[in-house]
Structure 1
Amino acid sequence: MKPVQIAKGVYDVGVIDWTIRDFHGYSTHMGTSYNAFLVLGEKTVLIDTVKKNFADQFLRNIAGIVDPSEIDVVISNHTEMDHSGSLPHVMNLIGRDKPIYCSNMGKKNLSRHFVDAFNLQEIREGEDLVLGDKTYSFIETRMLHWPDSMFTYLKEDKILFSSDAFGQHYAGHEQFDDRVGEKIMFHAKKYFANILLLYAPLILKLIDKVIKMGLDIRMICPDHGVMWRKPSSIIDAYTRWSRQEELDDKAVVVYDTMWHSTEQMGLSIADGLHAEGIDVRPMKLREHDRSDIMTEVCDARAIVVGSPTLNNGIFPTVADFLTYMKGLKPQNRIGAAFGSFGWSGESVKILEKELAGMKFNMVAPGLKHQYVPDNDAIERCVAFGRQIAAAVKASGNHS
């Protein structure tokens, strides 16, 4: 990716990672980008860097705009290594004495990530940093999604550099939301569901704080994916997703199966949900990545989980997904459990306990069947799906 001018004197000098397909457990079918930004003025400022193994390309991108040695200041919004990994390469080139501005926790993290001594300068929220003819202000965004995270606002150009917030794991030559179109919202939702859903209450407070600050935001530039020239669309989406109240009449049926008995149950439950007008997504765990399932969970009212009983417990893939979902803390969901078994049949009670522990409103009791479902069992599954659908209609937007 060559540098792109996003405003007068402001460039995206980041790189595209076309081939990455797993980002610490998150499926990246479309690859990703590591965005970093160069601001030219009386002082030349670099905002964030890129993953270490893209350092050479990154420096070539900068060199396509300005001699890297002319960079006066670096701002580090976030110290995770996909954004700070190239920092030593940059500082070796421009001079280790030049300042790196970061949050208090950023200063601590960078000093722990890199044994080399840098000129780390703590910047505080609300503090204006005047660098020549440009003014930078900062908003701490602790735990969105690391303790060091912050936003940088370029006042003269009305650009918010938002670090990992409002990002997407998306690799493409269309570098703005209005060039990609509506399909980018799926990638934004997936990013939110798998990285930021846990921090939804903090996001709502942050959005409220930014509104009260009265910032005129003309563009949002995250460190992954496209830049938002229509920032209200992604801010409104984050507000809606974070509230977890405006959920869809939708159910996700998540399951795995050994000899297809649990699968038959799950698909029949899905039939019952569909018959009642509920948008239903059956998702088998060995065919759908957990991060893709969480994307569907993001706006679904009901989560229905099924597992056969294996060794008096639940299937490993189901346990993995429950652990993953539990960590992201979806709220205001309806839960239901089902499963088949051969002789002991503990899986359904285990699933119910896990879902209830996440404070889901349970449709109880769960449904289980021994061995292969016959016609009567299939009818019970369809009826169970209808029962879940009734709970969906009676809750949330229908209350």
Structure 2
Amino acid sequence: MNNKIQIAEKSFWVGKVDDRPVPFHRLILEKGTTYNSYLLETEKPTLIDTVDISFGVEFVKKLSENFDLNTLKYVVINHVEPDHAGALPALMSKAKNAVIVTTEKAKEFLNGMFKLHNREYLIIKDGDTLDIGGKTLKFFQVPYLHTEETMITYSIEDKVLYPCDIFSTHIATYKLFNDLASEDITEDFKVYYSLIMASHRPYVREMLHKLKDIEINIIAPAHGFILRNNAKKFIDLYDKMSLKNASNKKALILYTSMTGNTGKIANDIYEGLTDSGIEARIINAKTSSIDVVKEMAAESDIIVIGSSTRYGDMIGNIEAYIKEIVSMDLSSKYGFAFGSYGWSGEAIEIINDYLKQSNINLLDSTKIIKATGENDLHLPLRINFYDNAKKVTSVNTGKMAAEFIV
């Protein structure tokens, strides 16, 4: 196969086709995959992403046969997982003058993985542009698609989107372009979405919003086919697949608060749930009855329980409510504990222990990481005191919880 295939003016595919059954995210990709890397031979030559770490030496050798690596000005890293950034150490050992273009979080990860502390970085923010001499690249931060440091790159003059894992397919193809495929790739495209992107649905929606006013003629992802025929079809598929119907889904937020901070967290979680289309109800245990709360719990798909901590324990009468709730059949429901605390926060853990003893589907950090890879949200939700800066965490926790039932 030609090591260098043109996809737009002065823009070339320089990746690697891996036609083995490929281990990937606890799966075996029976159709293999491609690791797509792109070289833009402009006045300031730029490489967008690399290939899997297993092929780093081979990648650099083949790239140097077609291109003088000493002239490489920029290396754009959209996403730091080893199947995209893995060849970076081998590349940078030869491309002595290249600057790494990426996000601040990606820089942190790259330095941690590959010890590139002595290399020059150009840190981008959402919406930044970069003139590479004949082309202008625009960058969009798209966290959690599918890891927190991810960004995507758009070539303004070519109208080519380089979205890394987004819009990918896991197929080893020597034909590269979707209009040359021997069969319809739509099903493979949908399978990739369901395996990699579906659990990040809110972030898919945010990404689509950022792209809504951009004209895209070609989508050049990090895996599988380059979508040069009817790119809009595949954007529309993401739009359709990321729309979920939350109608008739209900949530109960039961709490008790000493100084009002836990009540503020309850309101934030309510905001996150309702923003996701969930009908949420907040109940203060001080002003309701056990019978009413049990009725609401029976009707709810998510049950969220919180308390402030005083003398190492919950406050008020909420424990009596919890005992009644956990004695119910909660097998079809999800739940988690939350609360504000000053110096210890035992009440939150006590609530969590009660939920563990029930048959509820307990949302905790382990479940979140396995489902989404997200490391910023931790459950049970423990907020030390409270301020407006912590509001985002509480709201996002509500949104995350909604994703498990819609």
TM-score range, shorter chain: 0.5 to 0.7
- Alignment partner of 1:158 is 2:152: no
Correspondence for 2:63: 62
- Shift of the 13–125 alpha-carbon distance from structure 1 to 2, 3 Å rule, reads same
- Alignment partner of 1:327 is 2:327: no
Superposed, 1:122-201 pairs within 5 Å as: 122-180=123-181, 183-201=184-202
Give the TM-score normalised by structure 2: 0.59
- Shift of the 125–181 alpha-carbon distance from structure 1 to 2, 3 Å rule, reads farther
- Distance, in Å, in 2 between the alignment partners of 1:53 and 1:21 is 12
Q: CA deviation at 1:245?
A: 4.7
Deviates more, 1:177-186 or 1:70-79: 177-186
- Distance, in Å, in 2 between the alignment partners of 1:146 and 1:101 is 17
Correspondence for 1:75: 76
Correspondence for 1:23: 24
- Distance, in Å, in 2 between the alignment partners of 1:192 and 1:24 is 14
Give the TM-score normalised by structure 1: 0.60
Correspondence for 2:218: 219
Q: Which amino acid aligns with 1:78?
A: H
Superposed, 1:245-264 pairs within 5 Å as: 245=245
Deviations 1:190-226 (A, max 9, x none): 1111111001121112112211xx2111101100001
Superposed, 1:222-241 pairs within 5 Å as: 222-229=221-228, 230-241=230-241
**Partner SS for 1:239:** helix
Are the equivalent residues in 2 in contact too, given 1:134–1:154 (CA < 8 A)?
yes
- Alignment partner of 1:101 is 2:145: no
Q: Runs of 4+ in structure 1 displaced over 2 angstroms?
A: 326-329, 357-360
- Distance, in Å, in 1 between the alignment partners of 2:162 and 2:136 is 13
- Distance, in Å, in 2 between the alignment partners of 1:24 and 1:202 is 20
Q: CA deviation at 1:358?
A: 5.0
- Distance, in Å, in 1 between the alignment partners of 2:149 and 2:372 is 20
**Partner SS for 2:93:** helix
- Distance, in Å, in 2 between the alignment partners of 1:70 and 1:110 is 22
Q: CA deviation at 1:103?
A: 0.9
Q: Which amino acid aligns with 1:104?
A: E
Q: CA deviation at 1:328?
A: 6.5
**Partner SS for 2:173:** coil
- Distance, in Å, in 2 between the alignment partners of 1:36 and 1:186 is 24
Deviations 1:227-267 (A, max 9, x none): 11121111011111111359xxxxxxxxxxxxxxxxxxxxx
- Distance, in Å, in 2 between the alignment partners of 1:70 and 1:120 is 17
**Partner SS for 1:243:** coil
Superposed, 1:44-63 pairs within 5 Å as: 44-63=45-64
Q: CA deviation at 1:106?
A: 1.0
- Distance, in Å, in 1 between the alignment partners of 2:42 and 2:372 is 42
Q: Which amino acid aligns with 2:30?
A: H
Q: CA deviation at 1:56?
A: 2.8
Q: CA deviation at 1:115?
A: 1.8
Are the equivalent residues in 1 in contact too, given 2:142–2:150 (CA < 8 A)?
yes
5+ unaligned residues in a row in structure 1: which ranges? Answer: 247-322, 330-356, 361-399
- Distance, in Å, in 2 between the alignment partners of 1:187 and 1:176 is 14
- Distance, in Å, in 2 between the alignment partners of 1:30 and 1:119 is 38
- Distance, in Å, in 1 between the alignment partners of 2:56 and 2:372 is 32
- Distance, in Å, in 2 between the alignment partners of 1:184 and 1:5 is 21
Correspondence for 2:113: 113
**How large is the Cα RMSD of the aligned pairs?**
2.6
- Distance, in Å, in 2 between the alignment partners of 1:359 and 1:141 is 23
Q: Which amino acid aligns with 2:53?
A: K
- Distance, in Å, in 2 between the alignment partners of 1:49 and 1:5 is 17
**Partner SS for 1:197:** helix
- Shift of the 328–114 alpha-carbon distance from structure 1 to 2, 3 Å rule, reads closer
